[in-house]
Amino acid sequence: MMTGDMITAEDARQLGLVNHVMPTKDEAMDKAEQILEKIMSKAPLAIGMIVDCVNAVYNCDENGYQTEANGFARCVKSGDYKEGTSAFLEKRKPVFKGE
């Protein structure tokens, strides 16, 4: 970054700057849809809390650690938390309802 040198997409992947390098737009869109499907299979409340925590860094009036603690507290009180725990113990896929 300090030299301004360009790097290839593969170099960026190897350095951990990007997760995936796809050779075509169509393959990139397919990969994006796969990732979206995976995210959508997770507990919606937890995903929302993650977004809130990430966005907290941009609000100087917000304590990011407190945002994370509050989000965790809300999640462990949810029906989705109970469902996720039960599904894990019963070795089945969870069915999250966003509750």
Q: What is the 3-state secondary structure (H, E, C) of the chain?
A: CCCCCCCCHHHHHHCCCCCCCCCCHHHHHHHHHHHHHHHHCCCHHHHHHHHHHHHHCCCCCCCHHHHHHHHHHHHHCCHHHHHHHHHHHCCCCCCCCCC
Q: Is the pLDDT of residue 98 over 80?
A: yes
Examine the domain organization and report whether 67 and 80 are in the same domain.
yes
Examine the domain organization and report whether 50 and 97 are in the same domain.
yes
Residue 82, in any domain of the structure: yes
For residue 91, what are the domain limits? 43-99
Residue 13, in any domain of the structure: yes
- For the chain, how many structural domains are there in total? 2
Examine the domain organization and report whether 95 and 59 are in the same domain.
yes
Please indicate, yes or no, whether the overall pTM of this predicted structure exceeds 0.85.
Answer: no
Query: What is residue 33's predicted lDDT score, i.e. its pLDDT?
Result: 97
Residue 15, in any domain of the structure: yes
The model's pLDDT over 26-43, given as tens digits with 9 standing for 90+, comes to 999 999 999 999 999 999
Examine the domain organization and report whether 50 and 92 are in the same domain.
yes
Examine the domain organization and report whether 57 and 96 are in the same domain.
yes
Examine the domain organization and report whether 51 and 90 are in the same domain.
yes
Examine the domain organization and report whether 63 and 84 are in the same domain.
yes
Residue 1, in any domain of the structure: no
